[in-house]
Structure 1
Amino acid sequence: MRNVALDGLDRLPRAVLPIGTDYPPGLLLDWHEHRRAQFLHGATGVMVVDTAEGTWTVPPRRAVLIPAATRHRVRMLGVSTLSLYVEPDAVPWWPGVCTVVDVPPLLRELLLAAVEFEPEYDLSGRDGQVVALLLHEIAALTPLPFHLGMPASPAFAALCRAYLAEPDVAVTNARWAREAALSERALTRRFREQTGESPAGWRSRARLLAALPLLRSGTVTEVAGRLGYASPAAFTAAFTRTFGSPPSRFRGR
């Protein structure tokens, strides 16, 4: 099934509904939720998924597992998606929060096959076996570190959302402390309690995640300069240390 709305299919007697969708560049799917769990794979482009708890950046050839009934929004940056909408009872092992995962070649080929199925595909034949194998493959995937937690405090969350919109190396703890009407020490303590990391560490990670969509069209040198790194080497080292792969692996995808 391609470029069809889930609403008209949601109650079909199939535990898994595969749907492929092409989105125009820069589309924002505003806040919404699905009754089913969703496996959302970006075959091309970059996706950014927001919930009240955090933000997940999904590079090309990766996917995000979204729990059922999770309110979220998705920014599509040149994306064509392959999705599975899954009845929650069929996947008791599904993570309780959004999770980014790699999509190995076998899983990608299974997804490409599945989105060509008819809505009421044959459960007992090849189609049913492909779907069963898809769930086995997804269950074996390992989470990737493309996530930023969002603090529970509305004031801190507002600071973080503003920073995600415009990551700027010049922003300091002192500035955030002034805007939150706190001392720097109190800001750092409370922020760490809510997110598990310091404000400076959070901002550094946010800048690195912001590099992923920029690397689609910019060189490593250009992206390093835009995000305020002293040199391409410094940017590459920080990126590789955080994500386990150099930024060149994400160029032009």
Structure 2
Amino acid sequence: MPFTRIDPNDFDSVPRPVVAVRNDFPPSLELATHTHRRGQLLYAASGVVVASTPAGAWVAPPERAVWIPAGTAHAVRMVGAVSTRSVMVDASVATALGDECRVLGVSPLLRNLLVEACELPREYDLEGRDGQLMTLLVTELARAPVIPLSVPFPSTPAIARKCHAFLEAPAPHDTIEQWSDALGMGRRAFTRAFRRETGMSFGEWRQQACLLVALPRLAAGQPVTAIALDLGYESPAAFSTMFKRLLGTAPSQYRN
């Protein structure tokens, strides 16, 4: 089905430090790799977005958003029908948001600010109520908590290929020995390289990767039991325990 997309890059010439864009996407749409001159806060008011770069992947289920720094090449995949609210932030006000991709928690106040920002005219009044709203939005973004919903990719091509393959077909019981043997590396060399290049142990990365795969499936309404068993957990309870420990809530919250 054809759809009309508002390209955030069309806002580059708007003389405002922060601009907001709303888009509605059909299910399973993928946006090819692209960049923005401004930093982008990508929030899905409905559905789930998965952003990926050569350095890793980030997933934003309900009440989460992805921060993508200016100039970062990224692709975006929609899970379900997705309605986004994007905030394009100029470098002059984006300092506090950092220069790396991250997933941020979206409070009820921040969510309402994001929705309201998309209703403003492009050249809103900087000195009036609209300007104050945007200033508050940036303040709330800067204090939003970082949520561990990402998996970094190693810089060594062979290890990175294994990581990409794992995301396509998760195998939660894979061991360090299996990966190091498949790569023709010693166990110690593999573990050192993996931690150095991802900042995580292999076990931590594997768990995060399983979470990244599970969230879009949960948001699509798939049963928790089926997801848990597909990911190799002995029971839905074991999967739910891991999920709640990492995200602070039950997996059922992420189902439609």
- TM-score tier by shorter-chain length is over 0.9
**Of 237, 243, 249, which aligns to 1:245?**
249
* Structure 1 segments of 4+ aligned residues over 6 angstroms from their partners: none
- Specify the code of the residue in structure 2 equivalent to 1:181: G
The offset of 1:183, in angstroms, is 2.7
**Of 96, 99, 121, which aligns to 2:99?**
96
Cα distance in 2 for partners of 1:90, 1:204 equals 35
State the identity %.
44
Q: How many residues are matched?
A: 251
Are 1:44 and 2:17 matched, yes or no?
no
2:129 aligned partner: 126
Cα distance in 1 for partners of 2:237, 2:97 equals 38
The answer as to whether partners of 1:54 and 1:150 remain within 8 angstroms in 2 is yes
**Of 83, 86, 98, which aligns to 1:83?**
86
- Specify the code of the residue in structure 1 equivalent to 2:167: L
Please give the per-residue CA displacement for 1:21-70, whole angstroms capped at 9, x wherever unaligned: 01111111111111001111111111111122221111122111111111
- Specify the code of the residue in structure 2 equivalent to 1:85: M
How does the TM-score come out when normalised to structure 1? 0.93
**Which segment drifts farther, 170-179 or 230-239?**
170-179
The answer as to whether partners of 1:46 and 1:213 remain within 8 angstroms in 2 is yes
The answer as to whether partners of 2:149 and 2:208 remain within 8 angstroms in 1 is no
The offset of 1:158, in angstroms, is 0.9
- Specify the code of the residue in structure 1 equivalent to 2:236: P
1:14 aligned partner: 16
What SS does the aligned partner of 2:92 have? Answer: helix
The answer as to whether partners of 2:40 and 2:88 remain within 8 angstroms in 1 is yes
Cα distance in 1 for partners of 2:225, 2:231 equals 10
**Which segment drifts farther, 216-225 or 172-181?**
172-181
What SS does the aligned partner of 1:128 have? Answer: helix
1:34 aligned partner: 36
Are 1:24 and 2:50 matched, yes or no?
no
Are 1:57 and 2:59 matched, yes or no?
yes
The answer as to whether partners of 2:9 and 2:37 remain within 8 angstroms in 1 is no
2:113 aligned partner: 110
What SS does the aligned partner of 1:13 have? Answer: coil
- Specify the code of the residue in structure 2 equivalent to 1:80: S
- Specify the code of the residue in structure 2 equivalent to 1:18: A
Cα distance in 2 for partners of 1:241, 1:8 equals 41
Please give the per-residue CA displacement for 1:138-165, whole angstroms capped at 9, x wherever unaligned: 1111101111121111111111011112
Cα distance in 1 for partners of 2:150, 2:102 equals 8
Where structure 1 has 5 or more consecutive residues not aligned to the other structure, the ranges are none
Please give the per-residue CA displacement for 1:150-185, whole angstroms capped at 9, x wherever unaligned: 111111111101111221235433332233111333
What SS does the aligned partner of 2:208 have? Answer: helix
Cα distance in 2 for partners of 1:106, 1:147 equals 24
Correspondence list, 1:165-180, <5 A: 165-169=168-172, 171-180=174-183
1:236 aligned partner: 240
Cα distance in 1 for partners of 2:11, 2:38 equals 11
Cα distance in 1 for partners of 2:172, 2:217 equals 16
